[in-house]
Chain A
Amino acid sequence: MKKQISWQTLALILASLVLFNGVMLFAHLWQNHWWLGVAVNAALLVALVEYVGRWIPGRFQRIYDLVLAIGFPILLLLVWETMARNNILNPRWFPPPSRIAVALWQLSTQVDKFSHTSLWGRPWLIPQRFLSQGWPGVVALFAEGHVWVTLMRVFVGFVLGAIPGIFVGMLMGMNRTIRTMLDTTMSAVYVLPKIAIFPIVMLMFANPFGEGPKIAVVAISAFFLVAINTMTGVRDIDPVYIQAARNYGANRWQLFRHVIFPGALPVIFAGMRLALGTALIVIVAIEFIRAKKGVGFLTFYYWEVMVTEKMYAGLFVIMFLGVILTYGLQRLERRIMPWR
């Protein structure tokens, strides 16, 4: 059944939009009262979208939702662009997105003076390297790029932390004694910001400025999140499943493999999602303070030399990495847990 739309209401909303913006523009109110303009426009926009949304037939609902979800950030960028160009936002601190896009292109195609590599390495050398060194040469070209360096730190640290985290979390979940002994300590260390132990971790490695301490701190942050969530996951398994498994003759190993591990998996994955997000935060923070490469280094470097559009480009790359990593983990989750 199609809902009736009142054209008068729709016209009223549209007329208000036009009228309000006309007044704002001709009375030159934007410069000093831009916040009013943004607020009223946002409210009218929500009213418009909401009203049209009620009218969308059920089978187009998903497409409409998609348009809204993608349309809003685009609108946000457009508003930013306009405001920066008209000096409502100071373009020195908030350069328009178009300039950030150009900066992103430059970061991808030109080397910076400090690290002598670009975001993705030096792809323009690919043909030449391929001829002289073959595939290994090409791989090496990518491996020197800032994005790859950051990804590698996140990934290796995450894996090195998550696997022992699952192991310890399982032990804590299944054994009361171990849980009682470790719980207080774990909870105390858990709340400590892991970046704070970076200096001491540096001292534990033969090369304090190498990859070791950076990866170790990422691993430590991931470890606690995964361990605590794994423990919760094990403890939250409905006891009736354990009783059923016992009643049907499962021994200890079978109980673990067929009930406790799959039963705890959803919460383990929730922990890994948190851990992955935290790993990214930690590695960017570390690259801010002590690194010669990486997206975090790049971002902070361009902040220090006041090239803000390149700094923003770095921030967008970090955002992009976060989205990609979360998406990858989601795919893995669906792969491993088809019953959800």
Chain B
Amino acid sequence: MAAKIIAKEVRKIYDTPQGEVIALQHFDLEVEEGEFVCIVGPSGCGKSTFLRILAGLEDQTAGQVTIIPGKEPGKPLNNVVFQEYAIFPWKTVIDNVAFGLEMHGMPKQKRLQIARRWLERVGLGRFAQYYPHQISGGMKQRVSIARALANDPEVLLMDEPLGALDAQTRAVLQEELLRIWEETRKTVVYITHSIEEAVLLGDRVFLMTAHPGVNKATFDVDIPRPRTLATQSSREFRQLTLAIWELLKDEVMRAMEAQR
């Protein structure tokens, strides 16, 4: 399969009053088309920074970050699902989902039709005319995911999308993500601090070191798809999460030391 995302020797330095802070260094990553890659690391390791560079929300200090465009012209390269949802409180649920399409000048009827279809797929068909303050956190994140998918980008970037949700809602949304990804097979880069989530969702888990962010190890997840929450009780799953945890533990300790 062909590479979809290529990141080589990425470096990000923040210029702060306390001096320069290195957030990313010698960072390499290649993602293949249709691959689901999860990036795990201790807090402050620069994983979100990398995603933001990938999304074009920030510039790297040095190195190369490329998303290779597909054959369809005019298709957006990437869309982000933010941890804090970032759906617009002043737009109804359906207008939020249709937002990307509206920005690209799609006529109203057509974009609402697409948005409605995606709302049905994430189970929010009844809530099309609601405003975000009328729905729960889990539903808001569903809207945010539907907004990204309705826009049909080459690459889907997810920045700890389930991080702010309670454990039960999170489990439900994990299963939903698995189901939707099975249907769409999009290229996904998924940031999380949960090893279980990374192993459950990803084809590959990418482990980062604490400050500065360097790739520490990569794990292939050979658990067959389709996966469900029940996958978490399999032996392979437990072995892999434990192996990742053994490596991550040191980094978490280092990150805590550094923050003290």
Would A262 and B79 count as touching, CB distance under 8 A? no
Would A247 and B132 count as touching, CB distance under 8 A? no
Would A254 and B103 count as touching, CB distance under 8 A? yes
Asked if A240 is an interface residue, CB under 8 A from chain B, the answer is yes
Q: Name B66-121 residues within 8 Å CB distance of A.
A: 76, 78-80, 82, 84, 86-92, 99-100, 102-104
Tell me which residues across on chain A come within 8 A of B151, comparing CB atoms: 248-249
Asked if A241 is an interface residue, CB under 8 A from chain B, the answer is yes
Asked if B254 is an interface residue, CB under 8 A from chain A, the answer is no
Say which residue of B79, B92, B131, B132 sits within 8 Å of A248 (CB atoms).
B79
Given the complex of chains A and B, what is the CA–CA distance between A249 and B152 in angstroms? Answer: 12
Given contacts A247-B55, A249-B100, contact A263 B90 (CB under 8 A): yes
Asked if B211 is an interface residue, CB under 8 A from chain A, the answer is no
Min CB distance A14 to B, Å, is 45
Min CB distance A236 to B, Å, is 13
Would B78 and A247 count as touching, CB distance under 8 A? yes
Tell me which residues across on chain A come within 8 A of B11, comparing CB atoms: none
Say which residue of B88, B89, B132 sits within 8 Å of A258 (CB atoms).
B88
Asked if B56 is an interface residue, CB under 8 A from chain A, the answer is yes
Would B56 and A339 count as touching, CB distance under 8 A? no
Closest to A255 in B: B103
Given the complex of chains A and B, what is the CA–CA distance between A23 and B161 in angstroms? Answer: 71
Tell me which residues across on chain B come within 8 A of A238, comparing CB atoms: 84, 86
Asked if A323 is an interface residue, CB under 8 A from chain B, the answer is no
Min CB distance B89 to A, Å, is 6
Write out, one digit per residue, whether chain A residues 256-277 have a CB within 8 A of any chain B CB (1) or not (0).
Answer: 0011001101000000000000
Would B103 and A249 count as touching, CB distance under 8 A? yes
Select the residue from A258, A338, A339 with max chain B CB neighbours within 10 A. A339
Closest to B78 in A: A247
Give the interface size class of chain A. 20 to 34
Would A262 and B88 count as touching, CB distance under 8 A? yes
Given contacts A243-B57, A262-B90, A263-B90, contact A248 B103 (CB under 8 A): yes
Given the complex of chains A and B, what is the CA–CA distance between A119 and B180 in angstroms? Answer: 68
Min CB distance A273 to B, Å, is 19
Would B131 and A240 count as touching, CB distance under 8 A? no
Asked if B133 is an interface residue, CB under 8 A from chain A, the answer is yes
Asked if B147 is an interface residue, CB under 8 A from chain A, the answer is yes
Asked if A332 is an interface residue, CB under 8 A from chain B, the answer is no
Min CB distance A301 to B, Å, is 47
Min CB distance B22 to A, Å, is 23
Asked if A337 is an interface residue, CB under 8 A from chain B, the answer is yes
Say which residue of A243, A249, A258, A340 sits within 8 Å of B86 (CB atoms).
A243
Given the complex of chains A and B, what is the CA–CA distance between A166 and B168 in angstroms? Answer: 45
Tell me which residues across on chain B come within 8 A of A265, comparing CB atoms: 90
Q: Name B207-230 residues within 8 Å CB distance of A.
A: none
Given the complex of chains A and B, what is the CA–CA distance between A9 and B147 in angstroms? Answer: 61
Would A244 and B131 count as touching, CB distance under 8 A? no
Tell me which residues across on chain A come within 8 A of B76, comparing CB atoms: 248-249
Min CB distance B126 to A, Å, is 18
Would A247 and B57 count as touching, CB distance under 8 A? yes
Given the complex of chains A and B, what is the CA–CA distance between A245 and B95 in angstroms? Answer: 13
Asked if A202 is an interface residue, CB under 8 A from chain B, the answer is no
Write out, one digit per residue, whether chain B residues 237-248 have a CB within 8 A of any chain A CB (1) or not (0).
Answer: 000000000000
Given the complex of chains A and B, what is the CA–CA distance between A263 and B104 in angstroms? Answer: 21
Min CB distance A240 to B, Å, is 4
Would A240 and B82 count as touching, CB distance under 8 A? yes
Given the complex of chains A and B, what is the CA–CA distance between A93 and B91 in angstroms? Answer: 55
Given the complex of chains A and B, what is the CA–CA distance between A340 and B100 in angstroms? Answer: 23
Tell me which residues across on chain A come within 8 A of B56, comparing CB atoms: 247
Tell me which residues across on chain B come within 8 A of A251, comparing CB atoms: 103
Asked if A174 is an interface residue, CB under 8 A from chain B, the answer is no
Given contacts A247-B56, A248-B79, A248-B151, contact A337 B99 (CB under 8 A): no
Given pairs A249-B100, A262-B88, 20 additional interface contacts (CB within 8 A): A238-B84, A240-B84, A241-B88, A243-B57, A243-B80, A243-B86, A245-B103, A247-B56, A247-B57, A248-B79, A248-B99, A251-B103, A259-B88, A262-B91, A263-B90, A265-B90, A339-B89, A339-B91, A339-B131, A340-B133
Could you name 26 residue pairs across A and B whose Cβ atoms are closer than 8 Å? A238-B84, A238-B86, A241-B86, A243-B86, A244-B80, A244-B87, A247-B55, A247-B56, A247-B79, A248-B76, A248-B147, A249-B151, A251-B103, A258-B88, A258-B91, A258-B99, A259-B88, A263-B88, A263-B90, A337-B90, A338-B131, A339-B89, A339-B91, A339-B92, A339-B132, A340-B133
List the interface of chain B (C-beta within 8 A of A): 55-57, 76, 78-80, 82, 84, 86-92, 99-100, 102-104, 131-133, 147, 151
